[in-house]
Chain A
């Protein structure tokens, strides 16, 4: 099973610590919702966990080996990353966009092998974009692009998915569909870490909650036990009422304090 361990990570920018001594042990099968106020350092932490940014202090271990020791391509095969608001810079077709997710498996030259092309088709079907496969990616709606990017991330069958605000800007229907998929991945044994702002959805579908405040991990554990009004009050300065945390019918109501 995949094990991703953060050991006392510290990242400073301009003298201030953005990530301040975060340690955590994440394993496959977890869907970790990364919560916290704006500017808490969630994005930076995700980049460090993905190996896209080197922490100033501390290290990240994947299966007990430091991320630094992995070569870029083998790491890319095991871990997929989705940044905030991913876009396609050229109007290539949806099919080609999804196929880009197979880059770590491809040699330096040459087209897509037939077996891999089949995988792309399968992925398009799973995210329900098969009828849009030849459409230029730049003409997709927000929800469709989000699904296409998710397909891109998953087409290579990675062990881990780290996503920075994957649900932001999606309408309720697409947001629910998205987070259900993420939970499904975790149930299938993958490690999923995603930063979300919707507390209700996090309460319903995440297996674990990680709360980041001012760069520090102030809480990490299973949703049912970790998500509490005290925690939300401390992190967001809101009075919250939580019912059914960790179940598919959880609700989080809150008012500003």
Chain B
């Protein structure tokens, strides 16, 4: 009888210990696993950060983020401090994790040593595969891999729904705003156009850069539609002047697609929605090319 009790007692103690660990574990593990004072030095990273962690864990995001947040997720940055990437702010906020970009990482690296915080350099996402990489990278750095995967899953659902649409004849478009520069191959705009089922005729160059594309070239290329970025820049600018060029008004009336700049500036899960909106806009473009 006593030998059986010993066995049982050992198992009970084991189960109790296990139970205690399960309850107590997270309480002891949390401070070392998840950063609580995250500082982001790049606008695109700001937005992803806001989608992954509660505001209380953010030390500061860049001052540039606010406009984009207003358009994409209004109110999400309420109460969050902003920074301009200066050394003083870094020392003031004393982050325990710094999210940097290829441009800001050298400054961050130098100063991060002083506050003893790890620095994560996040690439700029130019296509959907890169968006997945970036979200996973930031997700694991801030200790929210599950939420990161959820965001990616949502984006992939949107993309799948887009791909499942009945195939349309691909539309030849260019994102042209009249200052002579168009996004070429390897840009995010290019990825969105392709995902929406269009052909970006600005992609005549192999590299990532934008190319010169004047009115003559535009006419010679004869796109089915012209995309123009709207929404971020409310102030009057020269662009509007040239975009209202009589030739554009005459031959591309009804063939101009406005797209929300905010969705094209950073690689985000919402980028898939932008591709869906673009596909909807493509469907509304009249058949046949511009009339001349």
Touch A–B, Cβ below 8 Å? no
Chain A: residues with CB nearer than 8 A to chain B? none
B residues bordering A, Cβ < 8 Å? Answer: none
